[in-house]
Amino acid sequence: MTKKLLLTSFFAVVALTGCDQLRVAQPEVFDNGDEAFFDRPNSAQDSDMSRSEDVRRDNFNVKFKKIADKRRPKALANSVEQNVIHEYDPDKLQGGVRSLFQNHMDNYFGVNSRGEEELIAEMDVRDFKTQIVDGTFLSGRQGNYRVYIEADVRVRDGLGKVYVIDTYKVDYKTPRRSNDGYPPSERLDKSRMLDAVAAAMRNLGDDLSHDVRVKLRAAHTVR
């Protein structure tokens, strides 16, 4: 009797909502047979994906005129961290460091869009790490993908008025998931690392756009 009631309730829901709304998301399967870990969307991830809408809503735009690689030479860099499982060379990850930052910042702020306030930015990248690091009991024994960014940013208008001059730091981590208990393949690791880089760049864009928004509103209030 209980099974009949459950089935009746299920088909009633289907009838009310429509079958096309009851799809089950499937993890991505790569050419070599690796199955990507499927993450349920959460409010924080959804928020990160949509925050750049604030830039368009406030009607300002930031164009990065110059991005310079000011990282310390490898010979002078800090000693190797003990908890690093693998470290990617940022210069070889995807088109080089300057190109990587330029593409992500242009994408975040909309390089081809126009706003009432057209601002010019320059960035000096002081540090950029892309690593797989040890995990914890909660994050899992396969570790975490970690992206660390430190950059000096200056934002001004066309007349030279400076709105932002500050150092921004982002330390982004996300679990390195595995469905079968074994470490992900090299290909899957790199794909997820690039996703982590994109998320860290969004966080950098969020922080910068927030500061620009505050300074612009303050300037308009003074007027």
pLDDT higher at 85 or 48:
85
Asked if pLDDT for residue 185 goes beyond 80, the answer is yes
Give the per-residue pLDDT at 139. Answer: 62
Average pLDDT over residues 38-65: 56
Is 196:174 a contact under the CB 8 Å cutoff?
yes
Residues 6+ apart with CB under 8 A from 170: 147, 148, 149, 200, 203, 204, 207
Give the per-residue pLDDT at 200. Answer: 98
> What fold is seen in the domain 58-222?
Double Stranded RNA Binding Domain (3.30.160)
Sign (positive or negative) of CA dihedral 141, 145, 150, 155: negative
Asked if pLDDT for residue 33 goes beyond 60, the answer is no
The whole-model pTM stands at 0.72
Asked if pLDDT for residue 11 goes beyond 60, the answer is no
Kindly report the average pLDDT of the chain as a whole number. 77
Q: Are strands 60-69 and 117-133 parallel, antiparallel or unpaired?
A: parallel
Average pLDDT over residues 10-17: 44
Give the per-residue pLDDT at 18. Answer: 45
- Please report the DSSP string for 179-218 in residue order: SSSSPPPHHHHHHHHHHHHHHHHHHHHHHHHHHHHHHHHH
Domain ranges of the chain: 58-222
Q: How confident is the model at residue 115 (pLDDT cuts 50, 70, 90)?
A: low
Q: How confident is the model at residue 190 (pLDDT cuts 50, 70, 90)?
A: very high
Give the per-residue pLDDT at 111. Answer: 65
Q: How confident is the model at residue 179 (pLDDT cuts 50, 70, 90)?
A: confident
- Please report the DSSP string for 91-104 in residue order: HHHSS-HHHHHHHH
Q: How confident is the model at residue 75 (pLDDT cuts 50, 70, 90)?
A: low
Digit-coded pLDDT (tens) for 119-165: 999 999 999 999 999 877 666 678 999 999 999 999 999 999 999 99
